[in-house]
Amino acid sequence: MSELGLFPLGIVLLPTEQIPLHIFEDRYQELIGECLEEELEFGLVYADEAGLREIGTRAAVTEVLDRFEDGRLNIVVEGRERFRLRELTSGRAFQTGLVDPLDETPDPADPDDTARALSLFHRLVDLTGADVEAPPPDAAQLSFELAGRFEFAPELKQRLLQLTSERERVKLLAELLTAAAETVEREKDVAQRAASNGKVEPRG
């Protein structure tokens, strides 16, 4: 086990995913400052009213966008290895904990599920007009590469994060993308019909 500085947030960071963070609290300015100075990673852990989750993601600062005079920072972090939080520790201004790497089960994705997930990705990009580049289909962790390109609810991303089988993750992701595509298509259909005559006729 190793001790890791923790950053509890109401978001989930997936491996390979990049997200921007605004660092404003003094304790997290200290944590990120150490990570930058010593080229360390910190642990991003999803937290809500139920508390900290057991599975989190190591995060590395890949870019400092802004430094403000009062110490605040705008940064970009990238998700790296997942970990299991074994025990919370104390002694620092920020939260720390003892962590172990989360072991991955050697269980490749079903090719049909992979093809379906990639097809749904392109379908959603077309439906939304988003400027998002597709990941390489042979990516080692395609499930995370794909999921990190969409704004899923934190609870759904946490479900993906906790699965240790790429087969299970790709299968779940295909289900999530199917539901997302159906929702977008419904919304577009309603908007188009509403724009045509100012009314939407409910379908029986």
List pLDDT tens digits, range 48-78. 999 999 999 999 999 999 999 999 999 999 9
- The predicted pLDDT at position 111 comes to 95
Lowest mean pLDDT among 39-48, 103-112, 137-146, 193-202: 193-202
Q: How many structural domains are present in the chain?
A: 2
Of 38, 70, 101, which residue constitutes the final position of a domain? 101
Residues 96 and 6 in one domain: yes
Q: What is the mean pLDDT of the chain?
A: 92
* Torsions phi, psi for 138 (to 5 deg): -100, 20
Instruction: Report the predicted TM-score, pTM, of the whole model to 2 decimal places.
Output: 0.89
Whole domain around residue 56: which residue ranges?
2-101
Contact 101, 56 (CB under 8 A): no
- The predicted pLDDT at position 203 comes to 47
Residues 35 and 93 in one domain: yes
The answer to the question of residue 25 being in a domain is: yes
Contact 179, 185 (CB under 8 A): no
Residues 8 and 42 in one domain: yes
Residues 71 and 133 in one domain: no
- Contacts of residue 117, Cβ cutoff 8 Å, sequence gap at least 6: 142, 143, 146, 170, 173, 174, 177
The answer to the question of residue 204 being in a domain is: no
- Contacts of residue 84, Cβ cutoff 8 Å, sequence gap at least 6: 54, 55, 99, 100, 101, 102
Residues 126 and 42 in one domain: no
The answer to the question of residue 180 being in a domain is: yes
The answer to the question of residue 202 being in a domain is: no
- Contacts of residue 32, Cβ cutoff 8 Å, sequence gap at least 6: 23, 42, 61, 73, 75
The answer to the question of residue 147 being in a domain is: yes
Residues 115 and 92 in one domain: no
The answer to the question of residue 203 being in a domain is: no
Residues 68 and 32 in one domain: yes
> What CATH number did the domain enclosing 63 receive?
2.30.130.40
Lowest mean pLDDT among 86-95, 117-126, 138-147, 192-201: 192-201
What separation in angstroms does the CA of 146 have from each of 63, 110, 135, 150? 22, 15, 7, 7
Contact 158, 55 (CB under 8 A): yes
Each residue's pLDDT tens digit, 166-186: 999 999 999 999 999 999 888
What separation in angstroms does the CA of 149 have from each of 13, 56, 66, 100, 134? 11, 19, 24, 27, 9
Helix axes 154-162, 166-197, angle to 10 degrees: 160
Residues 88 and 179 in one domain: no
- The predicted pLDDT at position 204 comes to 42
The answer to the question of residue 132 being in a domain is: yes
Residues 90 and 133 in one domain: no
Single-letter residue type at 186: R
Of 66, 101, 136, which residue constitutes the final position of a domain? 101
Instruction: Provide, rounded to the nearest whole percent, the portion of the chain with pLDDT above 90.
Output: 81
Instruction: Provide, rounded to the nearest whole percent, the portion of the chain with pLDDT above 70.
Output: 93
Each residue's pLDDT tens digit, 75-97: 999 999 999 999 999 999 999 99
The total number of residues written for the chain in this structure: 204
Residues 34 and 89 in one domain: yes
- The predicted pLDDT at position 202 comes to 47
Task: Copy the structure tokens of residue 69.
Answer: 């005079």
Residues 91 and 120 in one domain: no
Would you place residue 32 in the very low, low, confident or very high pLDDT band (cuts 50, 70, 90)? Answer: very high
Average pLDDT (186-200) is 66
Residues 146 and 179 in one domain: yes
- Contacts of residue 44, Cβ cutoff 8 Å, sequence gap at least 6: 6, 7, 9, 11, 12, 13, 56, 57, 58, 59, 77, 79
Of 101, 119, 135, which residue constitutes the final position of a domain? 101
